[in-house]
Structure 1
């Protein structure tokens, strides 16, 4: 079913197929040890691997094992991030704690601003390091609320940090079903809300989703 190089590593392991995400990739989880992404889109998977490899030099994150091309399919095989995403019931039930965690997450991103990132984010322009899809499901922590890594980094690179902030605020409001804690987070970060950039980077259809939550 999978390339022989990968089969040798996963031999004897059970797997489940992950249904989270909207990229269209097939994602297989192997007993909280490995993740395999299978796609016909080589560019996206290559971008994700390159960015994971670069970022993991500086902050925690998944480790790449191999990237293969076989039978017109592309396979990106990496380690599993042991922890929980920020949409876990424990965290959504404690928004104040969630905002404290996000302050640390943003600090991790800002620590990459001066690392001479060789990539550019495709959807915005600037000199800050951006994740490119900074939503709660793409951020992982351990049981002690310590950051363990990001996933879905294929659009990360140099850009405008407000691109990330806009999507993070949207994700908070969408998952918490209130905008109340957006201001709490911005206050903790010492950032003023930038309505112009928020609306610039967040598509109208996503803003409409928030209104449907009200």
Structure 2
């Protein structure tokens, strides 16, 4: 899951030997470039050659608690990507595995830019609409009856409201996980490691919550998001899932 303390590395990042080896196996040119650090210390690197580009996710799992290991399970993310890729635009899995306390996931890059980058944040209303439309397409396209994955982070608690509508949730629908094309239109989703069946408000509450974070747009665009998605706000479910997210 993306937290406000995750982001683009601001200091030099040593490239793990495993990542260098994976890049070499791909035939990549030069040293892999670090592009993201998650809140659990995992890193994502970009590798490329003239005719191809990949992203290599790397996670040291030796120091993680069991719950953190589940959150950083790259093999589980690979399985979800392969399943979801039958229906929606998500990165193609090239390789995944684990050894010596390190896990990795290699995906083929999609030619788009994250909604997180400054050029889209300069046009917040257009970008919020694109994020909302992308999430609606995701929910509409993925078949709930055929999905083998639960939405584990939002699993039912005694005080949970009854699901308003079950969908296949993205699971981590924060701003950086939507890709836009060169016109700023929705293109694809990434980072679906938490994908699973759940109340659509688990996604809707967190997508809008993320938009309001200072690191993204710094204010609420809830009304615009919900009208674009095509739903009236549900204050009870919004509040419940945002509080649950903050505790998880």
Q: TM-score interval w.r.t. the shorter chain? A: 0.7 to 0.9
TM-score w.r.t. length of structure 1 = 0.84
> Are 2:176 and 1:171 aligned?
no
SS at match of 1:33: strand
Alignment of 1:25-174 (within 5 A): 25-31=42-48, 33-41=53-61, 43=70, 44-114=73-143, 116-125=146-155, 127-174=166-213
Deviation at 1:113, TM superposition (A): 4.3
Q: Deviations over 1:183-205 (max 9, x none)?
A: 12212223121111112111389
2 CA distance for matches of 1:114 and 1:96?
A: 30
Q: Deviations over 1:1-60 (max 9, x none)?
A: 237565321343431123443232132211371111122447511111011111111111
Does structure 1 conserve the Cα–Cα contact (< 8 Å) formed by 2:42 and 2:57?
A: yes
Q: Deviations over 1:138-169 (max 9, x none)?
A: 11111023433222211111011101111111
SS at match of 1:66: strand
SS at match of 1:60: coil
1 CA distance for matches of 2:245 and 2:230?
A: 28
SS at match of 2:233: coil
Q: Call closer, same or farther: CA 1:27–1:103 in 2, change over 3 Å.
A: closer
2 CA distance for matches of 1:60 and 1:205?
A: 26
1 CA distance for matches of 2:89 and 2:98?
A: 27
2 CA distance for matches of 1:106 and 1:38?
A: 26
Unaligned runs of 5+ in 2: 1-16, 62-68, 156-162
Q: Call closer, same or farther: CA 1:100–1:11 in 2, change over 3 Å.
A: closer
Work out the number of aligned pairs and report it: 206
Does structure 1 conserve the Cα–Cα contact (< 8 Å) formed by 2:131 and 2:175?
A: no
1 CA distance for matches of 2:183 and 2:102?
A: 38
**Further displaced range: 47-56 or 65-74:** 65-74
Does structure 2 conserve the Cα–Cα contact (< 8 Å) formed by 1:135 and 1:171?
A: yes
1 CA distance for matches of 2:178 and 2:143?
A: 21
Q: Provide the aligned C-alpha RMSD in A.
A: 2.5
Aligned partner of 1:211 in structure 2 is none
Q: Deviations over 1:117-143 (max 9, x none)?
A: 111110225531101111101111110
